[in-house]
Amino acid sequence: MIQLKRILAPTDFSERSISSIVTASDFASQFDAELQILHVVYNPYPYGGGAYEAVVDSRPQLKAAARKQLENLPGPPWEGLLNISRHVRFGHATVEILAHSMRHDIDLIVQNTHGRTGLSRFLIGSVAENVVRKAACPVLTVRGTGNESAVPKKILVATDFGMHSENALRYAAEFAERFGAELHVLHAATEHITASPAISFHDDLDVRARRPLEALCIAKSHPTVTLHKELRIGPAVGTILDYVKEFEIDLVVVGSHGRNALVQVLIGGVAERVVRHAPCSVLTVHHPEHEFVKSLANAELACL
């Protein structure tokens, strides 16, 4: 069973980031979790100098202004939560979000893919993508504005039957049960030449895809979940995105290999491209999970 005890929702006070807080509050209510809302006051002069000293001198006023904004965020959905805290940090958004998530042992980060800078900033090196890549915990990226909730009714988990996919399936099944959502399990098989001429593509596909897909079972642990399994031929990202549109999926859950796949992710891994192009929310789950960022050197985080 998935237990979410602490959920983090970073905000830059834009309308879009408010929607991630609304979604985070829905998850916090469902899991009886603490909701932590974080705003990072940007430091434009990290390397010292006169301008840096001026910023340092104004920190108390900047933090006070940010905290006042946090206390007066519009929209009532999260006000009914019993356990909510607000935090202000000073520095680089990516570094401070990751540092906060590690320091407070966050179980889920909920963030919007668009901030004040819009789509043009959701590229390699943006805050959203760096948090998805580096966070030790799962990251839920939300597409929405204002007080719109992103509670899922149809959840898709993409699997290649690896350990990272098994971890993603655990989250997808738990969320489907908690929110009463349909669960769709999709495997995208690519056409390739079989190892032996005596083995047909159909027989090979049966062994490496159809049978493992049929063997997946969540009925014992999540008996109330409506489950759909689908096997399709084609490239992973395109197949996932086509399925999302066809079935009007609300949430895609994808697994990432964690540190061992860092190079792959940096050049455009499946998880990253799904986050970038999916029209719905995406939950990225690393494997291994909480060990991922905790083993990164501080110097590596500082280079973001």
Q: Look at residue 118 and give its three-state secondary structure.
A: coil
Query: CB–CB of 269/217 below 8 Å?
Result: no
Within the chain, where are the H helices?
15-31, 50-57, 59-71, 93-103, 127-134, 163-179, 201-205, 211-215, 236-247, 262-266, 270-277, 291-294, 298-302
- Distance of alpha carbon 56 from alpha carbon 45, whole angstroms: 9
- Distance of alpha carbon 142 from alpha carbon 145, whole angstroms: 9
pLDDT of residue 198: 53
pLDDT of residue 195: 53
- Distance of alpha carbon 276 from alpha carbon 279, whole angstroms: 9
End-to-end distance of the chain based on CA atoms, in angstroms?
Answer: 33
- Distance of alpha carbon 83 from alpha carbon 271, whole angstroms: 32
Fold match, 1-149 / 152-304: yes
Query: CB–CB of 133/44 below 8 Å?
Result: no
- The torsion angle over the Cα atoms of residues 129, 22, 243 and 158, rounded to 10 degrees, is 60
Q: What is 1-149's CATH superfamily?
A: HUPs (3.40.50.620)
- Distance of alpha carbon 220 from alpha carbon 230, whole angstroms: 20
For the chain, give every domain's residue range. Answer: 1-149, 152-304
pLDDT of residue 116: 45
Low-confidence ranges of the chain (pLDDT < 70): 43-58, 74-82, 114-125, 144-150, 191-204, 206-207, 257-268, 287-304
- Distance of alpha carbon 230 from alpha carbon 271, whole angstroms: 19
* CATH number of this structure's domain 152-304, picked from the four choices 3.30.70.20, 3.40.50.1220, 3.30.479.10, 3.40.50.620: 3.40.50.620
DSSP class of 186: E
Query: CB–CB of 103/137 below 8 Å?
Result: no
pLDDT of residue 202: 63
Q: Which residues contact 36 (CB under 8 A, 6 or more apart)?
A: 6, 7, 8, 9, 84, 85, 86, 87, 100, 104, 106
pLDDT of residue 104: 96
Which region holds residue 284: left if phi is over 0, alpha if psi is between -120 and 50, else beta?
A: beta
Query: CB–CB of 216/159 below 8 Å?
Result: yes
Q: Which residues contact 142 (CB under 8 A, 6 or more apart)?
A: 19, 20, 23, 110, 111, 112, 113, 150, 281
Query: CB–CB of 36/8 below 8 Å?
Result: yes
